[in-house]
Chain A
């Protein structure tokens, strides 16, 4: 059943509405899972995952024993415009939580989202990478909630669990706010901005059904899920460019590299010269690789999960 959890009138002939699809078994339910996506409008991987989860549930609704709330678009205008932030005000919605009921439009929007999720037994916040780097499916956890969240994260069929990674899991995000309220919330990140990698999407969808099965929300068959690598920041090698130029990758994303392998080159298109050759200092899984070619000094080129 499609429901609006928030609606507000825009200036000219339109409402900003956040909608969810609530899927319920006929005989009532005890457990509830919430899937949210599209908080950043340029991250579209979650669109396929929402579609596929709803499709599979509708196709085999007899197996559903709990409530599944699916929110494909927390920032609907952002998705429509492929803007990471809230169009017009340019603020990152995922830095505005938990919001407040009597406040500005974004305060009310974020408060209404949180209010509608309260009561869930688990929430999964689906992100893509930005347009600049490509990522393998991974759960990102803030260390303060890691103990509670790790068991859930292991069911999600991601390749990697990264503890205390980025601002994605930090204060004033949806995930942090919900975790503080006692609603276990996982942030899953994968793929690349403005794209859908269907293979990664299917992998994560299988994981979501495993989570649902473990929590008594789904009684149907689920695919075998993999055991993810669990990593803290110390095991991740960041490779950044120390010059500006155009980055040409040589290594394959989502593959293992050895220490000394060539990751890519930063070239000068005017001079026809290679400014830097970028080598791996440690062997391991190349789980992040730059996709957007133009770089400044300091831009991220790759991340390796050391073996």
Chain B
């Protein structure tokens, strides 16, 4: 393994922000894994750190295939991690909405451009991503429907679900979209949390990436076969909205099997403790996303269900 600087950003008041890459093997640019692009993506950073640790051991044991190389970038946005901000700098810019970037524009555009220039040549790209809604997801692999997406390959992670999202205009500035545009086969990997570490799903995330790299012939690693992923389109998920605002008392978790009419959550009046609303399942299915914050606003997404699917 060797460590290289991918790019750096100068500040008058802080040490330079250096984006560091951990390189394994020599040869074709086979796979690149990117971690925390936002300052609260602690789980994503942790998964990458554990991946670096695992790949170091595998490389020392001669388990990185000849002619293949893997690059891991655990943290892109260290400045924001250290200040506790999700987005970058005083302008509060989302780096993951700044691609492809350019080398003559704003600081974040330059950063995005420098990053994509370095990682755009890899055959496979895996981003440890997070969603703007606070809550728990079932671990899954997600890809944009760009015409280049390959759901068969998404299956090789062995996670329970592979989700295809039709991109909105706002998605076209993400790394995943632009990676695919650069002809990298790109995946976003979601575990169940963002700003805290969940050891179980972090291990699941590391195992899924190692499984994928093994199945693509990039490393040799004996692992459990995982799941045969269920492929679904994001538009097919059933959203269950909160009908009232108040204190959210969730009763089911991501991954649970629910039945039509089953009580999923209660919304409690924050002043007198009465139940304002009982949220019930509009369909049989599996909970794909669950709101986990203590408070909820009217019309917030409380749950997303995989319609008529059972454990």
Interface residues, chain A, with chain B CB atoms under 8 Å away: 8-13, 16, 84-85, 89-91, 95-96, 103-105, 108, 130, 132, 170-172, 240, 243-246, 268-270, 292, 294, 296-300
Interface members, chain B 80-110 (any A CB < 8 Å): 86-87, 89-92, 104-107, 109-110
Question: B298 to A130, Cβ gap below 8 A?
Answer: no
| A250 nearest CB across to chain B (Å) | 19
Q: Which residues of A contact B105 (CB under 8 A)?
A: 240, 298
8 closest Cβ contacts across the A-B interface? A11-B295, A9-B245, A9-B298, A105-B299, A171-B169, A296-B107, A298-B107, A172-B169
Residue in chain B with minimal CB distance to A299: B107
Selected from A8, A132, A172, A296, the residue in CB contact (under 8 A) with B298 is: A8
Selected from B110, B132, B245, the residue in CB contact (under 8 A) with A12 is: B245
Question: A10 to B170, Cβ gap below 8 A?
Answer: no
B189 contacts chain A at the CB level, 8 A cutoff: no
Q: Which residues of A contact B301 (CB under 8 A)?
A: 104
Question: A11 to B106, Cβ gap below 8 A?
Answer: no
A298 to B105, CA, bound (A): 6
List 23 A-B residue pairs with CB atoms under 8 Å apart, sorted by A's residue number.
A8-B299, A11-B246, A11-B295, A12-B246, A12-B270, A89-B133, A90-B132, A103-B299, A104-B239, A104-B299, A104-B301, A108-B299, A132-B91, A172-B168, A240-B104, A244-B11, A244-B12, A245-B12, A246-B12, A294-B13, A294-B90, A296-B107, A298-B110
B140 contacts chain A at the CB level, 8 A cutoff: no
Determine the interface band of chain B, counting residues with CB < 8 A from chain A: 35 or more
A38 to B106, CA, bound (A): 24
Question: A105 to B298, Cβ gap below 8 A?
Answer: yes
B283 contacts chain A at the CB level, 8 A cutoff: no
Q: Which residues of A contact B221 (CB under 8 A)?
A: none
Q: Mark each residue of chain B from 203 to 225: 1 if its CB lies under 8 Å from any CB of chain A, else 0.
A: 00000000000000000000000
A47 to B89, CA, bound (A): 27
Q: A9-B298, A130-B91, A172-B169 are in contact. List 18 more A-B contacts (CB 8 A).
A: A8-B298, A9-B244, A9-B245, A9-B246, A11-B247, A12-B245, A12-B246, A12-B270, A12-B295, A84-B92, A89-B132, A89-B133, A90-B87, A103-B299, A270-B12, A296-B89, A297-B110, A298-B105
Q: Which residues of A contact B300 (CB under 8 A)?
A: 104-105
Question: A95 to B169, Cβ gap below 8 A?
Answer: yes
A16 to B299, CA, bound (A): 12
Question: A13 to B270, Cβ gap below 8 A?
Answer: yes
Interface members, chain B 1-60 (any A CB < 8 Å): 9-13
Q: A10-B297, A105-B297 given as contacts; is B106 within 8 A of A300 (CB)?
A: yes
Interface residues, chain B, with chain A CB atoms under 8 Å away: 9-13, 86-87, 89-92, 104-107, 109-110, 132-133, 168-170, 239, 241, 244-247, 270-271, 295-301
Q: A8-B299, A16-B297, A84-B92 given as contacts; is B168 within 8 A of A294 (CB)?
A: no
Q: Which residues of A contact B133 (CB under 8 A)?
A: 89
Selected from B10, B295, B296, the residue in CB contact (under 8 A) with A296 is: B10
A96 to B132, CA, bound (A): 13
Question: A90 to B106, Cβ gap below 8 A?
Answer: no
| B38 nearest CB across to chain A (Å) | 10
Selected from A8, A95, A292, A299, the residue in CB contact (under 8 A) with B106 is: A299
| B91 nearest CB across to chain A (Å) | 7
A84 to B132, CA, bound (A): 16
Question: A297 to B270, Cβ gap below 8 A?
Answer: no
Q: Which residues of B contact A91 (CB under 8 A)?
A: 132
Question: A13 to B271, Cβ gap below 8 A?
Answer: yes
A90 to B300, CA, bound (A): 14
Q: Which residues of A contact B296 (CB under 8 A)?
A: 11
| A290 nearest CB across to chain B (Å) | 12
A96 to B170, CA, bound (A): 8
| B80 nearest CB across to chain A (Å) | 12
A300 to B247, CA, bound (A): 44
Question: B245 to A296, Cβ gap below 8 A?
Answer: no
A299 to B104, CA, bound (A): 10
A270 to B13, CA, bound (A): 9
Q: Which residues of A contact B9 (CB under 8 A)?
A: 296-297
Question: B170 to A95, Cβ gap below 8 A?
Answer: yes
| A98 nearest CB across to chain B (Å) | 11
Residue in chain B with minimal CB distance to A97: B169
A294 to B107, CA, bound (A): 13
Residue in chain A with minimal CB distance to B248: A11
| B167 nearest CB across to chain A (Å) | 11
| B233 nearest CB across to chain A (Å) | 17
Question: B297 to A8, Cβ gap below 8 A?
Answer: yes
| B96 nearest CB across to chain A (Å) | 12
A196 to B193, CA, bound (A): 41
| A3 nearest CB across to chain B (Å) | 20
| B302 nearest CB across to chain A (Å) | 10
| A276 nearest CB across to chain B (Å) | 13
| B35 nearest CB across to chain A (Å) | 20
| A11 nearest CB across to chain B (Å) | 4
